[in-house]
Amino acid sequence: MAEARCAMAEAVIASIVADDVDELSTAVSKTADGDTWRAVLRHELPVDRLIDVGGLLHYDVYAPKLLCFGAAPSLTPWHVAALRGADDALAMFVERLQVPVDYRLPRGGATALQLACFAGHTDTVRLLVDRLSADVSRRDEYETKTLPRAGFKGGGAYFISRY
């Protein structure tokens, strides 16, 4: 079961990286079991595996930075979508699969909102806060609030102006 979940998680990340939300939406529609999809979206994959083995994040500059900082030794498909600014995928995960918008990384505790701020995705921050009602006061395991992460790349400009 774990291998199947891992393979599904890698396939989801590949669709996110390829910006192919239609394929992802079709796959979700074919499987009525929301619990399985929620488990897949929460499945942790080591960042180094995503970079080295699958090459899924080979050109993604944020995942290696997180790995170097020690902030995220592993990522879930949910958090990869936030890092890459995959707004349509994030909205589908929350609205169709009822993935909790404030789901935290098991190690480090970062939320999708914090990672979107870190990566500089203003539109993703707006989506998470305004439409999906992400908790702006949530802290990670290091007690870092969302606001300091907003300054990493300027993507938090919207967030900073609102809060």
Structure tokens at 49: 């595996």
Report the CATH superfamily, name and number, of domain 2-162: Ankyrin repeat-containing domain (1.25.40.20)
Strands (E), 26-137: 45-46, 74-75
- Identify the CA nearest to 49 among candidates 25, 23, 13: 13
Amino acid at the residue 52: D
153 or 16, greater pLDDT:
16
Cα–Cα dist 146/9, whole Å: 26
**Helix axis angle, 2-17 to 21-30, nearest 10°:** 150
Q: CB-based contacts of 161: which residues, under 8 Å, 6+ apart?
A: none
Instruction: Report pLDDT digits (tens) over 108-122.
Output: 788 899 888 878 888
Instruction: Report pLDDT digits (tens) over 60-106.
Output: 666 656 655 555 677 888 988 998 889 999 999 999 889 999 988 87
Q: What 3-state DSSP class applies to 75? A: strand
Instruction: Report pLDDT digits (tens) over 22-35.
Output: 888 887 777 657 78
